[in-house]
Every structure is written in structure tokens, then in C-alpha cells.
Amino acid sequence: MDHSQMDHSQMAQEDRGQEARHDHHEMMVADFRKRFFISLILMFPILFLSPMIQMFMNVDFRFAGDSYLLFGLSSILFFYGGKPFISGARDEY
């Protein structure tokens, strides 16, 4: 069987898929880093408003609507910081 007549012109193509995957990975890492630092900043007022932390530190920073503010900040932190995990869990189903 003679294979010398095979056309090898398409064999020299480069696979550029690795570059696209590498860029996507860098973007994902940058997104996680940004979400981490924003979540870290949001954590401090949540801890400051938390009744358990106030009781532990023996201080009282109560004001009208502090529970609603605590709920709002906690919800933002949960959904913003947890978005990659929530969307990953959703994609599993």
C-alpha cells in the first residue's frame, strides 16, 4: 500500500484552543480575586452590625433598621461572593 500520494497540506495547522483556554482561566482568576476583596470589604460592616459579635465584644451599636441593613448586606455578600459557586451548582443540573 503506497501512502506517498497523501495530501499533508492540512497537517501544519496550529491549535489555538490552548490560548483561548488560558485567557479564560486568567479572567476567571481575576474575577475570583475581585469578588474576594469586595466580599472582604463587605464583611466588616456585617460583623459590626451582627448581634452575636456585639454581644461578644460587649458593645451595643443598635439603631432603627439595623436588622434590615444587616440582612441587605448579608444578601449582597451571599449572592455576589457566591455567584461562581451558585452558577456552577446550577450548571450541574
Domain ranges of the chain: 31-92
Number of other residues whose CB lies within 10 A of the CB of residue 40: 11
How many residues in total does the chain contain? Answer: 93
Is the pTM higher than 0.95? The answer reads no
- Asked if residue 16 has pLDDT above 90, the reply is no
Find, among 86, 89, 88, the residue nearest to 77 by Cα: 86
Longest C-alpha distance within the chain, in Å?
89
- Spatial neighbors of 43 by CB under 8 A, at least 6 apart, are 77
Q: pLDDT tens across 36-89, in order? A: 999 999 999 999 999 999 999 999 989 999 999 999 999 999 999 999 999 999
Q: What is the pLDDT of residue 53?
A: 94
**Measured at the alpha carbon of residue 71, what is the angle toward residues 41 and 90, in degrees to the nearest 5?**
80
Helices (H), the chain: 17-49, 51-57, 66-81, 83-92
Confidence of residue 23 (pLDDT cuts 50, 70, 90): confident
